[in-house]
């Protein structure tokens, strides 16, 4: 069954508001305001840590759903999942992306869904309960100004294992500062 136009519009609005909220939360709003009110500035792109992407998955990884229940702020963590949970799960201008639990059902591409990784066929609360935000942060805890799309194969639906530290954990979110990211090679 195809969603109605009102549902599609509300989903699009929700995605926009969530994305804008993340940009504001992580300090990108000043860039958007300065670009809208003055000359276009080229963004400063930070260098990613050299040992960020690794060849082998870290041991003792737990699923996102388990991490959401057991993680402790400030503690080390190793999580595994699939890049997804939103139509654009990898930020264009910050080193930040969403990882969803493998148990979060993907949308069926046969039904015409162009972004099956966003799980848009599932209720919003189910999506939110099954995702974690991963960031590569600077010394102040803000995500680096960098685009991770395609870096070492990082793309929607890529399977990843992330080793890092829990930066924030509350009832509605899990934020991990990544130190190492393993991207499972896609089958050829």
Please state the domain count of the chain: 1
- Write out the residue range of the structural domain in which residue 151 sits: 45-183
* Residue 14 counted as domain residue: no
* Residue 172 counted as domain residue: yes
- Range 49-72 average pLDDT: 96
Helix (H) or strand (E) holding 126, with range, is helix 124-129
Across all residues in the chain, what is the average pLDDT? 81
* Residue 22 counted as domain residue: no
C-beta atoms surrounding 73 within 10 Å: 12
- Range 78-84 average pLDDT: 97
* Residue 157 counted as domain residue: yes
Reported confidence tier of residue 186, pLDDT bands at 50, 70, 90: confident
Half-sphere exposure of 178 (CA within 13 A, CB side): 30
CATH number of the CATH domain containing 111: 2.40.50.200
Expressed in percent and rounded to 5, the helix, strand and coil fractions of the chain are 30, 25, 50
| Integer Cα distance of 21 and 16 in angstroms | 8
Contact in structure between 163 and 78 (CB atoms under 8 Å): yes
pLDDT of 21 = 44
* Residue 176 counted as domain residue: yes
* Residue 31 counted as domain residue: no
* Residue 135 counted as domain residue: yes
pLDDT of 45 = 59
Half-sphere exposure of 14 (CA within 13 A, CB side): 16
* Residue 7 counted as domain residue: no
């Amino acid at each position: 069954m195809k969603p109605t136009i009102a549902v599609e519009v509300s989903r699009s609005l929700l995605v926009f508001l969530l994305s804008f909220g993340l940009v504001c939360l992580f300090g990108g709003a000043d860039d958007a305001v300065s670009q809208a009110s003055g000359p276009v500035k080229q963004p400063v792109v930070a260098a990613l840590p050299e040992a960020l992407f690794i060849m082998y998955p870290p041991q003792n990884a737990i699923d996102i759903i388990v991490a959401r229940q057991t993680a402790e702020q400030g503690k080390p963590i190793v999580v595994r999942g699939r890049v997804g949970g939103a139509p654009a799960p990898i930020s264009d201008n910050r080193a930040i992306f969403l990882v969803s639990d493998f148990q979060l059902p993907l949308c069926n591409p046969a039904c015409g869904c162009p972004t099956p990784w966003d799980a848009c066929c599932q209720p919003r609360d189910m999506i939110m309960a099954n995702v974690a935000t991963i960031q590569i942060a600077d010394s102040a805890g803000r995500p680096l100004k960098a685009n991770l799309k395609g870096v070492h194969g990082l793309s929607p639906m890529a399977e990843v294992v992330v080793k890092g530290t829990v930066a924030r954990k509350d009832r509605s979110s899990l934020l991990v500062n990544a130190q190492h990211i393993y991207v499972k090679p896609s089958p050829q």
